[in-house]
Amino acid sequence: QQNELNSFLWTIKRDPPSYFFGTIHVPYTRVWDFIPENSKRAFQQSHIVYFELDLTDPYTISALTSCQLLPQGENLQDVLPRDIYRRLKRHLEYVKLMMPSWMTPDQRGKGLYADYLFNAIAGNWERKRPVWVMLMVNSLTEVDIKSRGVPVLDLFLAQEAERLRKQTGAVERVEEQCHPLNGLNFSQV
């Protein structure tokens, strides 16, 4: 039952009330039906909505892309052990080969092409830091490819907030997310 689900919604008792809602970075269609009505109602009634990052801001997306890159002049081949680099390269070749069969008819109907999608996800992979390559590889599965084109929950809610003309903001800057990940050493990654 909807009303028995854990809502991941906390209420801050004040007048008017404030709410804190925990999201997850997955396509919203995977979780939307499991978000209880009290959480959806709190979102609808809110006038101001803050997100972890502003995923609708081109600067945020650009900064996220930039922070993933190795220092100028370095390539992944320079920092990974040779055997891991070769395995990674072969795996990405396999993914590129399989991607057309992983795509849905709906994705093709929207004009998505496998090569475009592969480049959107894995383009410039040889310039990325190992931690970001690891996260990228984890998202290159058939299930994840089939859901590409569907916004993650945070982005979906941000787009809804914009559509409903709610005031929006972010509680973090890109650097606050990038620097800790970029600070991991190779053995931690």
Q: Which residues contact 47 (CB under 8 A, 6 or more apart)?
A: 166, 167
| Domain annotation covers residue 4 | no
User: What is the domain count for the chain?
Assistant: 1
Domain region containing 173: 9-183
Residue 1: pLDDT over 80:
no
CA distance 164 to 124: 36
Residue 5 pLDDT class (50, 70, 90 cuts): low
Q: Is residue 93 part of a domain?
A: yes
Quick one: pLDDT at residue 21?
86
What element of type H or E holds 9? strand 9-12
CA–CA distance, 100 with 170 (Å, rounded to integer): 36
Compute the distance between CA of residue 8 and CA of residue 36 in angstroms, rounded to an integer.
9
- The model's pLDDT over 22-77, given as tens digits with 9 standing for 90+, comes to 888 888 998 899 888 889 999 999 999 999 999 889 999 999 999 999 999 999 99
Measure the CA–CA gap between 134 and 116, rounded to whole angstroms: 20
**172 DSSP β-pair partners:** none
Q: Which residue has the higher pLDDT, 188 or 138?
A: 138
Which are the contacts of 48, defined by CB distance < 8 A and separation ≥ 6? 166, 167, 168, 169
- Do the domain assignments include residue 179? yes
User: Percentage of the chain with pLDDT > 90?
Assistant: 58
Residue at 3 is within a domain:
no
> What mean pLDDT is predicted for residues 72-83?
94
